């Protein structure tokens, strides 16, 4: 018995010996590493791997890389925004038929960016607007669409000839790819986002319209009768071709009403959609001349104001973009004729417009850098 155990142990030991021998390959010789301190090269007797230092990176290179990354991020964000726009059923819209009024929209769009409005801006333009004048708006991510102005029937006499283009705002009702639209006149400047107003639009009742009231810009006396008059500078609506056709037909209808010798777009809207609802004033639709009415909070309350409307009633105040062409002395002379509060409002517009130009220039620089 003991002999058998010893025999088994001897066999196991022999097997272990042979396995150990075959496990060691003759090609598995470990070759010592040597470090050449002169060349910082790690070598072995069979291979040589050289480590080289990376090229020097300058601050300019870093800045360019950052700018390129910003462009990439911006493009990615724009793709996301485009996808969101496709899903969105809300949009702002405005209109200009000449290059001067486009300047107003440049400032309007910048104020929308500053106040973090989350919905896009469609800009209706006529063929008279050159492509070079449209480009700044496109760089501000506006959706520029060429349209025809609304034709005014021959039998309709417009109240003031320069108001003829205002009838083109009826085309906002043609934007049936959207459920809710906010119309903004091009001579507005936002102080706060208006996104929350989309919630007021009743998509099941396109004849229901929300708009500002036409407060008397020439007086600091609050007149409750003015609450019945619409100011179409801002309108909250649900697009409908039927309503659009009613408004087009309404031009002739209104012109034939008693004591209606002339017509403007507000007359047509007021008569065709008589159940419109008013937005609170002065929070929505304040006219800049009312900044002098500080003793009447129903006409001026700047803290609660959402936007400024550069209308002047019968007072001869220029559109703010007209001051851009004036010399410093000429502008001072114009400001001397204005109350101080109105001057400050104009300077606010000018600063926003200049901010927009800087924004556009920086975007162009980034685009050119990537090319």
Domain extents in the chain:
89-370
Angle between helices 340-370 and 99-114 (to 10 degrees): 90
Mean pLDDT of all residues in 86-114: 93
| Angstrom distance (rounded) from CA 262 to CA 255 | 7
More confident position, 290 or 61: 290
Whether residue 125 contacts residue 134, with contact meaning beta carbons closer than 8 Å, is answered with yes
pLDDT at 331: 87
Q: Which CATH superfamily is domain 89-370 in?
A: Spore Coat Polysaccharide Biosynthesis Protein SpsA; Chain A (3.90.550.10)
pLDDT tops 80 at residue 68: no
Q: 186, 235 in Cβ contact below 8 A?
A: no
Q: Tell me if residue 284 falls in helix, strand or coil.
A: coil
Residue with tokens 């506006």: 142
Mean pLDDT of 329-336: 88
Model pLDDT, residue 311: 84
Question: What pLDDT was estimated at residue 84?
Answer: 64
- Rounded-to-integer distance, Cα 49 and Cα 155, Å: 92
Weakest mean pLDDT among 1-15, 85-99, 227-241: 1-15
Q: Which of 90-104, 142-156, 199-213, 354-368 has the lowest mean pLDDT?
A: 354-368
What pLDDT does 41 receive?
35
What does the block give as tokens for 97? 């038929």
Q: Is the pLDDT of residue 92 over 90?
A: yes
Q: What is the mean pLDDT of residues 188-198?
A: 98
- Reported in sequence order, the residue ranges of the chain that DSSP labels E, i.e. its strands, are 34-36, 41-43, 48-49, 90-96, 121-125, 143-146, 180-184, 188-190, 210-213, 230-237, 277-278, 307-309
Sign of CA dihedral 153, 159, 163, 167: negative
Total residues found in the chain within this entry: 371
pLDDT of residue 5: 56
pTM of the model: 0.76
Element at 240 (helix H, strand E): none
**pLDDT band at 316, cuts 50/70/90?**
confident
Residue closest to 135 by CA, chosen among 86, 102, 165, 97: 102
Q: How confident is the model at residue 37 (pLDDT cuts 50, 70, 90)?
A: very low
Read off the pLDDT of residues 252-280 as tens digits, 9 standing for 90 and up.
Answer: 999 999 988 899 999 999 999 999 999 99
Q: What is the DSSP string of 45-93?
A: SS-EE---PPPPPPHHHHHHHHHHHHHHHHHHHHHHHHHHHHH--EEEE
Give the closest residue to 88 by CA, choosing from 124, 118, 113, 117: 118
Radius of gyration of the chain (CA): 36
Q: What are the pLDDT digits (tens) for 145-186? A: 999 999 999 999 998 888 899 999 999 999 999 999 999 999
């Amino acid at each position: 018995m003991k002999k058998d155990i010893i025999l088994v142990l001897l066999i196991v030991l022999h097997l272990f010996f042979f396995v150990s021998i075959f496990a060691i390959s003759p090609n598995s010789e470990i070759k010592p590493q040597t470090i050449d301190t002169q060349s910082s090269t790690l070598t072995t007797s069979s291979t040589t791997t050289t480590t080289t230092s990376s090229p020097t990176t300058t601050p300019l290179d870093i800045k360019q890389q950052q700018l390129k990354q910003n462009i990439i991020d911006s493009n990615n964000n724009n793709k996301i925004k485009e996808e969101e726009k496709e899903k969105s059923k809300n949009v702002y819209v405005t209109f200009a038929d000449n290059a001067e009024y486009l300047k107003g929209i440049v400032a309007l769009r910048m104020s929308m960016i500053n106040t973090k409005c989350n919905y896009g801006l469609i800009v209706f333009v006529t063929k008279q607007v050159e492509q070079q004048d449209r480009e700044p708006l496109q760089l501000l991510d506006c959706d520029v669409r060429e349209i025809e102005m609304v034709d005014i029937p021959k039998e309709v006499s417009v109240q003031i000839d320069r108001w003829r283009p205002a009838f083109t705002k009826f085309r906002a009702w043609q934007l049936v790819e959207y459920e809710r639209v906010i119309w903004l006149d091009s001579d507005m400047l936002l102080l706060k986002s208006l996104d929350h107003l989309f919630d007021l639009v009743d998509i099941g009742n396109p004849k229901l319209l929300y708009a500002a009231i036409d407060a008397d810009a020439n007086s600091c006396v609050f007149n409750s009768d003015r609450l019945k008059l619409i100011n179409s500078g801002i309108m909250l609506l649900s697009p409908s071709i039927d309503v659009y056709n009613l408004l087009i037909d309404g031009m002739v209808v209104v012109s034939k009403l008693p004591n209606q010798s002339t017509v403007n777009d507000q007359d047509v809207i007021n008569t065709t959609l008589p159940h419109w609802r008013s937005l609170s004033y002065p929070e929505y639709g304040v006219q800049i001349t009312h900044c002098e009415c500080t003793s009447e909070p129903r006409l001026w309350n700047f803290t609660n104001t959402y936007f400024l409307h550069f209308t002047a009633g019968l007072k001869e105040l220029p559109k703010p973009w007209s001051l851009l062409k004036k010399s410093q002395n000429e502008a001072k002379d114009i400001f001397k004729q204005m109350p101080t509060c109105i001057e400050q409002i104009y300077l606010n517009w000018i600063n926003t417009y200049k901010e927009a130009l800087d924004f556009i220039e920086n975007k162009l620089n980034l685009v050119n850098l990537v090319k």
